[in-house]
Structures are given as structure tokens and as C-alpha cells.
Amino acid sequence: MNGKRLLYAGSFDPLTNGHLDLILRGAKLCGHMVIGVAKNVSKKSLFAVEERMEMIRLSTEHLRNVTIDGFDGLLADYVREREIDVVLRGLRTAADFEYEARMAHMNARLYGNGAETVFLLSRPEYSFISSGLVREVFALNGDISGFVPGEVLKLMKREKA
């Protein structure tokens, strides 16, 4: 996929070590990676899109071929506008598969530019992590230091203080 433009999209509320692992692995597989932070997901977000983008920027600034952007509306429209070749998704467990397969099939009908959805399996040590669980543990003062990048933890603590 060298030379290809790859999109890794999500709400990243907040960015977790599982997301970061996919970013590192995805960035090695493509020419350029766009990390697309969804602005208007149906879920109510804890962090503003600018904060989520800042968390990602701080955690990925050593990566030369990665840019971060916010997007609104249909993923497929964004894929066409930004001339994306590959949309990367992570699969943590079999439970992710049904949802991901439905989304990939729908997107395949909507892309209209020949883009493909490609899946990477999450590493087993990250397979149980989700942003929602991280938010819940953090809200109840649990230790989330093993689940989010250091820069994200700093921002979250500053926000809570």
C-alpha cells in the first residue's frame, strides 16, 4: 500500500493505546495516513473535537506521514473529497465483526472512488479497551494509565482538576 492515502477515522473520545497501536501499524503500511476525528457522531462526546485532535497530535507528532483532521457528515463523502484509497478499521474481537462488516458493505456502495476498507486485528493486550470504558474508569477515579498514551492522561487529568 506504499504511496496510498489511508484514512483512520473514529471519535477518539479519548484516544486509547489500542487506537495508537493501529495508527503506528497503519502508518507503516501506507504513503500517508489521515486520522479523521468525527465531529458529529451520534454518541455524546466527553471531549470537544479540538481536544481530541490535540490528544492525537501530541501522541503522534513523531510520525512523519500522519495528519489529523476533523470531519463532519458522511465518511464516504470525506473519502472522495480527500482522495482516500484505503479506510482502515480495527477489529478487537468477533463482536466487532458484525458491526464492521455492515459498515464496510454500506461504505463500499457509497465511496464511489474505488476505495477499500481494510482491517487490522487489534493486538490481544488491547482487545478489551474502548474509549467508553476508559471514560467510565477515569470518572470513578480508577487507574487508566495502562490504557491511554501518557499525553492523553496528562490532558485528561488537567481537564478534571
| Catalytic residue IDs | 19, 43, 92, 131
d(CA 15, CA 47): 10
Which whole-number Å values give the CA distances from 100 to 7, 94, 103, 117, 129, in the listed order? 15, 10, 5, 10, 17
Q: Is-cis flag, bond preceding 124, omega within 30?
A: no
Q: What are the φ/ψ torsions at residue 100 (nearest 5 degrees)?
A: -65, -40
Coil, helix or strand for 20?
A: helix
- 74 is a site residue for ligand COA (CB under 6 A): yes
**Which of the stretches 6-14, 27-35, 53-61, 150-158 binds ligand COA when contact is defined by CB under 6 A?**
6-14
**Which of the stretches 24-32, 51-59, 62-70, 121-129 binds ligand COA when contact is defined by CB under 6 A?**
121-129
Coil, helix or strand for 10?
A: strand
Provide the minimum distance between the beta carbon of 9 and ligand COA in the complex, in angstroms, as a whole number.
Answer: 4
- 121 is a site residue for ligand COA (CB under 6 A): no
**Which of the stretches 15-23, 54-62, 111-119, 151-159 binds ligand COA when contact is defined by CB under 6 A?**
15-23
Q: What is the contact surface with ligand COA in residues (CB under 6 A)?
A: 9-11, 13, 16, 18-19, 22, 38, 41, 74-75, 90, 92, 103, 106-107, 122, 126, 129-132
